[in-house]
Structure 1
Amino acid sequence: MAESTLHTRPLGGAGQLAVDSLALTDAHAVPGLYLEESALATLSINAGATAIPVFIGRFHELDGTLASSETCIAITSYVHFQRRFSAAMRATVTLDPTPRVSTDRALGAFAVRHYFDNGGGRCYVLPVPALDDGDALLALPSRIARCAEISLYCYTEQDGTEAVVYAALEPLLQETGGGLLIANSADGVTRPTTTAQRTAVYHPGVVTPYEVLPADDQVSLPPADDLPARTLADLRATEPLRYLELRRAVDEWFKVNYPVVALNASAAVAGVYCQIDRRKGVWAAPAGVLLNKVSGLHNPGSASVQMRLMANRINALKDFPEEGVRVWGARTMVDPLSSPWLNVAVSRLFDAAARDLRQALRFAVFLPNNETTWSAVRNALRSYLQRLWREGGLHGATSDEAFYVQVGAGVSMTAAQIDSGLLVVRVGMAPVRALEFIEIVFTEQLTSALASADPS
């Protein structure tokens, strides 16, 4: 079993309202139910949401300007996203002297849409307009950490800044229960340098059927003396001939530079994590799932690259004829021969349990560090793990085979730790692991062998 250690610091006693056995006194002369203050808290541990991603990248405000925020913005649906952000790519046309088109290549809106199209639920968006800004990158962990329910990290852009953004998220991945980075490998070889057990890498990207061509009101025109209009929509009403010239230039530019909308796999994969968690549980492997809104693979590389993805600790996306593209891997970046954290589901299960238990054990901060508190903690944790085991998240014929909870003097704590007010709880779980390989052995009796063995 893998083991997780949880620590809290009790600071003193505090009463909690609980139904308790009462000694009969003059105050209990009338039959009925009486409540009194008890030093023992009743504790119930609820399972929190397990797949809440944050999408880091470039996003546009509704007025077309690049969005910026020092906090993560909660999004409940794609309709909600469209009310808060622009869902299209923006462009600018300049006359120099012929029309010249440019765009900031923001892919955040398309990534969020792809996430919801693949079963995603509640998520967060963190707009960072200048991804080469060192201060903005350093601030990423603290901004994300303010939203405790975030457990998945996705970067939406494809502009060569992936490595520095992944590295900036490393402080989050080093925390117990710190979540999982869903990363992308552009070439099927390169991987992030982040904590291996909390990083899952995917290759290649995907081609989507989304429309990238901006509408007239999403194409900006710089201010000029002979061009008072601010967008193509304005120009269409005042100078129709010039509008046609610029519209044609925009269409041709996007046809050459953006013939399709190609996205990193991470957004769709985050959606798969979400739907698998809802249907089965966080312990189930998020793989084998057919992706929605995918028309093909983007830059899949050579056959040799595809064959070596597993050796490179990168999860594959595979295109099956007459079926479509499926997520065909659910591993972290760890060495498969030396770590128990190989499966994404195992890593996420322990992270989810650590977050739930850490949140629940805050009650103990106000209780004495004695056997009464230890018993309450032990019973609550066993109840939580029992439920997890019965739902199929833990392996074992009995609960004793599936998990253990250790708390107490000489069991999980020394006398010095108890005297210093440190509560140490050791939790072990036997996770269910995904079946990745099926071996079938065929045995066939050859008739020639039978004939040679016939003594007649």
Structure 2
Amino acid sequence: MPSYFSPGIYVEEVPSAARPIGPAGTSTAAFVGVAPDRGAHLGKALPVNNWSDFLRLYADGENLESTPLARAVFGFLDNGGTRCWVVNVGEGGAITGTGQRRGGLQLLEAVDEISILAAPGFHDPVSHDALLSMAERLRTMVAICDPAPDVEDVSALTRVATPSSGKPPKPSEGTGGSGGSGAGSGDAGPTAHRPRQSDFGAFYYPWLLVRDPLSGELVHTPPSGHMAGIWARTDGLRGVHKAPANEPVRGAVDLAYLVTRPEHDVLNPKGVNVIRHFAGEGIRVWGARTLAAEASEWRYLNVRRLSIAIEQAIANGTRWMVFEPNDFSLWRSIRRDIGAFLTRVWRDGALLGRTAEEAFFVKCDEETNPPDVRDAGMVVAHIGIAVVKPAEFVVFKLSQWAGGTETETIGG
């Protein structure tokens, strides 16, 4: 207590006991691939904040051949992305390190801000598995997998591809990467191109026709970079709870394959997010699913990414609690801080419920922390959220009455 020696009014600044939990970033992407300058910054992960940064770091030379990595970074920035990390694996490089040496994807594990992961130019089953495995292990990001080029048999996109036994994937011509064409060349049975099932991955089809930012020519390119930019744009304009779909693809002038409605009916339930061309509206993303099972609660992309964002925000905002006395005061602080954070999330429209009580709950008391849990040095809080799911199917009821025809929306 301070000492006062004369009568009067004294004002003190007392720190608040509450420690607000801020939102976690969701729009930083990471790209692993082959740079135009094949030898630039090998074995390093470097941040890129604009196209000039990328040119200075990875295309500083003359007569450089463009690559899927360059087109992906440009597409990311063109579609609303603002910051990404880039790893150049060099000519003939792999997206994973070998032996004791870290490389490729492993260089990104120390970068905490990454929430979107892609490897443009690598579209074989081994690369898909590496992307998905990293996202599943870290649980802080979602991986975007690219399809193989020139896939016109859409049924192949519904079958999971597996690597051929003992054979490396064949490089694709004109892609600048070393990814294979899908299923291994030694596989028996029908052709397969779909990545394996995962709650932390997304898959888009088909490739895009874009104007190359280096050569100025029209070329086909994998969609992951443009899709990552749309994710970042949607996060900034609407929030991570908004599904990144029904959005225009900036920079795309055409598609490598035009998917029909019956084909889309087959692909969507299998977790293949189709990019469609609509007359008068241009090219739009028309799917927002993960590679999870059809019945999984994580089958919608925005649900998965919102959950990651909430988990990260809570983990970052409650780090001060580590080594605090595990008593009623700590439990009350946990309920207060997390409750205040989730209330803001609910008010932003990310949680479903007419009231905050309907949208979430936070339970942290002697029931969740019995003596054996406290003796183990743990504090346990149970948190439940009601996440808003996208209106993927909008149903209209058409009826007639004496005054004419009436249309009524009955479901979403």
SS in 2 for 1:349: helix
SS in 2 for 1:121: coil
1:384 aligns with 2:324: no
Structure 1 residue 170: Cα displacement: 3.6
Alignment correspondent of 1:345: 302
Alignment correspondent of 1:51: 27
1:168 aligns with 2:150: no
Structure 2 CA distance for aligned equivalents of residues 90 and 360 of structure 1: 48
Return closer, same or farther for 1:28/1:382 CA change in 2, 3 Å cut-off. Answer: farther
Please list every run of 5 or more consecutive structure 2 residues that lacks an aligned counterpart in the other structure.
158-192, 404-412
Structure 1 residue 141: Cα displacement: 4.7
AA partner of residue 70 (structure 1): G
Structure 1 residue 347: Cα displacement: 0.4
Higher RCO by CA contacts (8 Å cutoff, separation 6 or greater): 1
Return closer, same or farther for 1:329/1:174 CA change in 2, 3 Å cut-off. Answer: same
Return closer, same or farther for 1:441/1:303 CA change in 2, 3 Å cut-off. Answer: closer
1:426 aligns with 2:382: yes
Alignment correspondent of 1:148: 112
Return closer, same or farther for 1:134/1:113 CA change in 2, 3 Å cut-off. Answer: closer
Alignment correspondent of 1:308: 266
Please list every run of 5 or more consecutive structure 1 residues that lacks an aligned counterpart in the other structure.
1-24, 92-102, 215-258, 448-456
1:294 aligns with 2:252: yes
Structure 2 CA distance for aligned equivalents of residues 44 and 176 of structure 1: 25
Structure 1 CA distance for aligned equivalents of residues 2 and 209 of structure 2: 78
Structure 1 residue 29: Cα displacement: 4.7
Q: Which moved further from structure 2: 128-137 or 311-320?
A: 128-137
Contact 1:203 1:300 in 2 (8 A): no
Between structures 1 and 2, the one with greater helix share:
1
Structure 1 residue 446: Cα displacement: 9.4
1:122 to 80, 83, 87: 83
Return closer, same or farther for 1:333/1:361 CA change in 2, 3 Å cut-off. Answer: same
Structure 1 residue 84: Cα displacement: 2.0
Let me know the Cα RMSD of the aligned residues: 2.8
Alignment correspondent of 2:195: 192
AA partner of residue 109 (structure 2): A
Describe the superposition over 1:383-427 as per-residue Cα deviations: whole angstroms up to 9, x where unpaired.
1100010111111000000011111221x2332111111011221
1:320 aligns with 2:278: yes
1:32 aligns with 2:10: yes
Structure 1 residue 122: Cα displacement: 1.1
Alignment correspondent of 2:181: none
Structure 2 CA distance for aligned equivalents of residues 168 and 76 of structure 1: 26
Give the fraction of aligned pairs with identical amino acids, expressed as a percent.
25
1:135 to 97, 102, 109: 97
1:49-448 aligned at under 5 Å gives the runs 49-60=25-36, 64-86=37-59, 106-129=67-90, 130-132=92-94, 135-136=97-98, 139-157=103-121, 161-175=123-137, 177-186=139-148, 187=151, 188=154, 189=157, 190-193=193-196, 196-210=198-212, 213=215, 260-300=218-258, 305-336=263-294, 338-410=295-367, 412-444=368-400
Contact 1:119 1:272 in 2 (8 A): yes
Q: Which has the larger radius of gyration?
A: 1
Return closer, same or farther for 1:404/1:177 CA change in 2, 3 Å cut-off. Answer: farther
Contact 1:177 1:351 in 2 (8 A): yes
SS in 2 for 1:309: helix
Structure 2 CA distance for aligned equivalents of residues 180 and 425 of structure 1: 25
SS in 2 for 1:424: coil
AA partner of residue 320 (structure 1): F
Structure 1 residue 197: Cα displacement: 1.4
Return closer, same or farther for 1:374/1:134 CA change in 2, 3 Å cut-off. Answer: closer
Structure 2 CA distance for aligned equivalents of residues 124 and 35 of structure 1: 42
